[in-house]
Each structure stands twice: as structure tokens, then as C-alpha cells.
Amino acid sequence: MFKGTTPPFRHEIATESGIIRAVHLDAYTTQCEMTGFGPKVVDTEMPRAPDLRRRLHCQNPRFDQDDLAKEQKVIIEEMKMIEDTPDELLTELFHAKYFPDHSLGRPIEGT
């Protein structure tokens, strides 16, 4: 999210997330080709969380080779973790059999 964001905006988000005591900025990808982003904050700061999430944006992405190599390692570890999580593994196996010739039959993280 932040790799191509200009430094003033990146600093503003970091400062604000510190102000609202964001515990974690999280992202996820679903089987239906959707990516979601959201901060996890303490309950007293919930009213301010949607504004922080709204201001996250994907403009001006930077595809630095070092960043891509690091992310590739993270994704490979996530692929290995699927095998250690029975419910996720079962879901992937089910989708592979139920949607054999469709993108829904392929793993979210790739192969």
C-alpha cells in the first residue's frame, strides 16, 4: 500500500495511526478476487478508523525488485502455512474439485 505513496502522505498516515492507536493495519485477499484493507484499533477510537482506511490508496505503485523479492518470500511462507491449517486446506481442495476449469478453483496465493 505505501511503497509508492509520497513521503508526506505516508508520514501523515503513520502519524494518524499512532494518534488513533491503530494496533495493526491489515490487508487480505479473497477467493472472489477482492482485496480488503482495514485498521484494527482500540474500541474507543472506532469512529475515526473509517477515515484512516478511506485515505489509504494504491496510486503511484512502486515495484522495486528488492521489495518484490521480500514479498515473494512472505507469499511462499503463506503458501506453506495453508497445509498447516486444515480448514483452509479443505476449502482449497474443495474449490479445486468443484471449480476445476475456473479461477475459483485455483489457490488465492497462486501456485
Side chain identity at 59, as an amino acid letter? Answer: Q
Rounded to whole angstroms, how far apart are CA atoms 38 and 23?
11
Positive or negative torsion for Cα 30, 36, 39, 45: negative
For the beta carbon of residue 41, count every other beta carbon within 10 angstroms.
19
Rounded to whole angstroms, how far apart are CA atoms 6 and 8?
6
Per-residue pLDDT of the chain (111 residues; tens, 9 = 90+): 656 666 666 677 777 767 666 667 777 887 777 888 777 888 888 888 787 767 666 666 677 889 889 888 988 988 888 888 899 899 999 999 999 999 889 888 787
Q: Structure pTM?
A: 0.57
Q: What are the residue ranges spanned by the domains of the chain? A: 1-61, 63-111
Whether 26 contacts 37, CB under 8 Å: yes
